[in-house]
Structure 1
Amino acid sequence: MVCKAIADLQRTVALLEQQALKDIPSQVTKADAEGVRFAAKGLRSQRERLGLSAANYGKLVGVSGQTVYNWEGEISRPRKQQLATIAAVRSMSKKEAQARLEITGLGTRKKPK
């Protein structure tokens, strides 16, 4: 009986973890992207301010780390929906960004010494 309850809780936690990162893009609309300007240099400084690798920043906005590098290198530009998500991440603190990544288990964990 206890094992079944634990298994049910583990499934619930797993679902919540998966949903945590999906929350940012789902709360953002294309209308939110209106008036949002994009600058590759600004994206890099935002990512560095949050203390995130390109891969982890990409996880927050729903793209790959390589895509983030392409944006920063001005090889490509984000789409309107991605701009809206980037704008939503701008208001995050360093702790909040790390917490979102850790909740989902996607963040980098420090290895114990």
Structure 2
Amino acid sequence: MKTQITELVERLRASGEDAGPHCDLSSSSVKSVKAPIPTELYDQLKTMALVYNQDLNCIAGELLEVAMKEAMDCLTDDELDQLETVRKAVAQEEAQRHMEEQRYDAGCT
């Protein structure tokens, strides 16, 4: 059975040199994250991007996506419930903050 990482690497290999760097970097369904990694790993990531003619951020995002899925698979049901509760609370706070920012003040105060 192939792992998700193996499938990702096979997709990179199959993309070929003429594929060109592309992925969704700006839609509302994508968020960027800045994460520190050791210099050696960054250099390897940059090299992979050059070899497979892909965007460095795209490859990093795909690797992080696979890692997050595997990490989530390791959590217990209680931990998953706790994460969902916190996620909903954060989303509600963000929605409330957005509503307050959008509130029209006719008195210009």
Which band: TM-score by shorter chain? under 0.3
What is the TM-score with the length of structure 1 in the denominator?
A: 0.24
| Structure showing greater Rg | 2
Q: Which structure would you say has the larger RCO, counting Cα contacts within 8 Å and 6 or more residues apart?
A: 1
What is the TM-score with the length of structure 2 in the denominator?
A: 0.25
